Amino acid sequence: MPSPADEGRNFLPHKEILVIRSLRRCCFSLAVVAAMTLPAAAATQLTGAGSSFDYPFFSKAFYVYNQKNPDVTVNYQSIGSGGGIAQFSARNVDFGATDVPMNAGELTRAPGTVLQIPVTLGGAAIAYNLPGVTTMHLTRQVLADIYLGKILKWNDPQIAKLNKGVNLPDMSIVVVHRSDGSGTSYIFTDFLSHVSADWKSKVGTGKSVSWPAPSSVGAKGTEGVAGQVKSTPGAIGYVEMAYVVENNMTAVLLQNKAGKWVACTPDTVAAAAASKPEVSATNFSIVDSAAAGAYPISGYSWVVVYKKPTDRAKELYDVLSWLVGPQGQANAKSVDYVPLPRNVQEAAAATLRQMQR
């Protein structure tokens, strides 16, 4: 008979292998992180952190900038808006990026006066999955009622009334939302709060909220929501504009405040932004715009910098003013982002000029 000690010992080799394996994995990931964060051999290295929404646009734009100005590189870490604000407030990075401007509390906690500059635009399309239904018209109120859980079936009279001649199936609506805190959720819930008093009082506006619909499902990331909608007949969900195009999804035509039926496209999102050139960090919401061609679920993404940066102020100013100017914004379209309208570009440049350099 084996003694208990023998039996115990039999575990050891395997445990050791597991430990060695995980150590090896740690070393490897450390090396990768080091390789990514170590500065390249360049004269000036600017660092930024924050919103993952901005990441594809920033990668492209900063790459182009570096091609033109080889002595300046920008290292942007896509760690989420909350993390970006934290890193920026600790002065660990030269600039932060966030989908929702820093609020009063965050501004007082920051160690200096903060300038908040809009850098890019995004819109949330309402994607759906109904076999055989290729066009779907929804009013803002009906969309809000779906997300509130008041409308539960696709053949509900309120939906049928808007889609005459469409054969709507007797199918439950599966409401899909982002499970991770996100700027897209913020814009979408901001929109719902604007169009529905019920939503405003029961749920509210935020990056993460308590979703009331009984058949709601949370999916991680835009790709998660897109995947969930695509694989679930009867599902509806909000996804960033670019995803709908890239993934061949069908999206709802939404009736805007002016009564027009609009799809989520770069033009309709830009129209929403252009209707409010006086945008600022305290008055930034462009959802439910009254302009005729405006898509109602649109919003800005922001860069935050200190009015008096401790270091590299000149380079930082140059990069950012290029980014919000026509040349920087020209990179947005190639990665399916919406360039800032001309009047907003000018406003952003004016804010940026307050920076001491």
Residues that bind other proteins (CB under 8 A): 1-2, 4-8, 10-11, 13-14, 21, 79-83, 85, 103, 105-106, 172, 174, 179-182, 203-211, 215-220, 224, 227-228, 231-232
Region for residue 201 given its phi and psi (left: phi exceeds 0; alpha: psi -120 to 50; beta: otherwise): alpha
Q: How far is the CB of 219 from other proteins (least distance, A)?
A: 7
* Residue 140 to residue 218: CA distance in whole angstroms: 22
| Nearest residue (CB) to other proteins, 199 versus 295 | 199
Name the residue among 216, 245, 243 with its Cα closest to residue 232: 216
Q: How far is the CB of 55 from other proteins (least distance, A)?
A: 13
What is the side-by-side order of every strand in the sheet holding 253-255? 137-138, 253-255, 261-262
| Nearest residue (CB) to other proteins, 81 versus 268 | 81
- Retrieve residue 189's tokens: 């819930």
Instruction: Classify strands 261-262 and 216-219 as parallel, antiparallel or unpaired.
Output: unpaired
| Nearest residue (CB) to other proteins, 13 versus 259 | 13
| Nearest residue (CB) to other proteins, 216 versus 275 | 216
| Nearest residue (CB) to other proteins, 94 versus 106 | 106
* Residue 102 to residue 142: CA distance in whole angstroms: 32
| Nearest residue (CB) to other proteins, 189 versus 268 | 189
Decide: 166 and 133 in contact? Cβ < 8 Å.
Answer: yes
Q: How far is the CB of 14 from other proteins (least distance, A)?
A: 5
* Residue 263 to residue 317: CA distance in whole angstroms: 36
Decide: 351 and 306 in contact? Cβ < 8 Å.
Answer: no
Q: How far is the CB of 241 from other proteins (least distance, A)?
A: 20
Q: How far is the CB of 317 from other proteins (least distance, A)?
A: 27
3-class DSSP state for residue 86?
A: helix
- C-alpha radius of gyration, the chain, whole number: 24
| Nearest residue (CB) to other proteins, 101 versus 339 | 101
- Retrieve residue 231's tokens: 């694989």
Q: How far is the CB of 299 from other proteins (least distance, A)?
A: 15
Q: How far is the CB of 147 from other proteins (least distance, A)?
A: 14
Go through 274-304 and write b for each residue having 16 or more CB atoms within 10 A of its CB, e for each that does not. bbbeebebeebbbbbbebebbbbbbbbbbbb
Name the residue among 318, 355, 325 with its Cα closest to residue 340: 325
Q: How far is the CB of 174 from other proteins (least distance, A)?
A: 6
Q: How far is the CB of 207 from other proteins (least distance, A)?
A: 5
| Nearest residue (CB) to other proteins, 130 versus 262 | 130
- Retrieve residue 184's tokens: 């897209």
Q: Where are the beta strands (DSSP E) in 233-310?
A: 235-240, 250-251, 253-255, 261-262, 298-306
| Nearest residue (CB) to other proteins, 191 versus 295 | 191
Question: How far is residue 158 from each of residues 126, 148, 195, measured CA to CA in Å?
Answer: 17, 14, 16
